[in-house]
Amino acid sequence: IADWGNDRIMQWKNGDTTNRQVVAGGNGIGNGLNQLRGPTDVLIDKETDSLIICDWQNERVVRWSRRSGTTQGEILIDNIACWGLAMDEQRNLYISDVKKYEVRRYKLGEKSGTLVAGGNGQGAGLNQLNGPLHLFVDRQQNVYVSDSNNHRVVKWKKWATEGFVVVGGQGEGNALTQLSRPNGIFVDTLGTVYVADCYNHRVMRWTQGAQQGTVIAGGIGYGTGANQLGYPRGVSLDRHGNLYVADNSNNRVQRFSIEKDC
């Protein structure tokens, strides 16, 4: 878990709310190799048994080994206003850049990468992004982007020069056709999109081709109740149909049991 406010990455065993472990950062705010500053996203590279982290306020992507005794990371890419990360099955790394309004694909070790979404300045055109935050990449290397300030999720096919809207895009609002500052996204094998609809304090599910979504968590206003969310930032789904939500303002991760579309 990217523990943004504490400048660290935390590991929790599933179902254990007491035993936690700092696995990266946790040495105060700063730009040392043993520090993080406002990390926004993290993924596990199983091949190297390491964590790859968006160290946002330091404008760099860093890698920390998961091996016991690791005390610092290494810089993979710097001078990038990274926010979201994803990795495909070929171990290409995808990174959103909120200052350049683009997403790039990197082979590990590369510094410049290949443009895969946006890159045409700030805007609402189908070849543009405005506030690209979180990412999801499917097996066909289609890239899904939470285009937050455009209140939509867009899908860019491999080598495409523009994307198309798969969720939202009807202006900011709380109707079932709308989003408000979408953040984390997850896409299942059927193409169903799950999105943290941050400013609406809910998680939405949109089946492929649908004109509107369904609220599957929250959606009853900001709050601390078990059925409420506060500016949710991240979503993930496991193979058992459990939905995990980074419930940002409530400083917790919630798990919801939902019915998957099968």
Query: Which residues are 106's β-sheet partners?
Result: 93
Q: Based on the number of CB atoms within 10 Å of its own CB, is 209 exposed (0-12), middle (13-18) or buried (19 or more)? A: exposed
pLDDT the model gives residue 196: 99
> What residue numbers bound the domain in which 199 lies?
170-262
Q: Using the CB atoms, write b or e for 83-106: b if 16+ within 10 Å.
A: bbbbbbeeebbbbbbbebbbbbbb
pLDDT the model gives residue 260: 56
Neighbours of 52 (CB within 10 A): 22
DSSP 3-state assignment of 144? strand
The CA-atom distances, in angstroms, between 247 and each of 13, 21, 88, 106 are 18, 19, 26, 30
Residue 130 lies in a domain: no
Neighbours of 119 (CB within 10 A): 16
Q: Based on the number of CB atoms within 10 Å of its own CB, is 172 exposed (0-12), middle (13-18) or buried (19 or more)? A: middle
Residue 32 lies in a domain: no
> How many domains are there within the chain?
1
Residue 221 lies in a domain: yes
Residue 128 lies in a domain: no
pLDDT in tens, 11-58: 998 777 788 899 999 999 999 999 999 999 999 999 999 999 999 999
Residue 245 lies in a domain: yes
Residue 95 lies in a domain: no
pLDDT the model gives residue 13: 86
Q: How confident is the model at residue 262 (pLDDT cuts 50, 70, 90)?
A: very low
Residue 10 lies in a domain: no
pLDDT in tens, 171-191: 999 999 999 999 999 999 999
What is the DSSP-derived secondary structure letter of residue 162?
S
Residue 100 lies in a domain: no
What is the DSSP-derived secondary structure letter of residue 234?
E
CA 105, chain centre distance (Å) = 15
Dist CA 155 CA 143 (whole Å): 6
CATH classification of the domain holding 222: 2.40.10.500
- The answer to whether 127 touches 135, Cβ cutoff 8 Å, is no
DSSP 3-state assignment of 6? helix
Dist CA 125 CA 102 (whole Å): 13
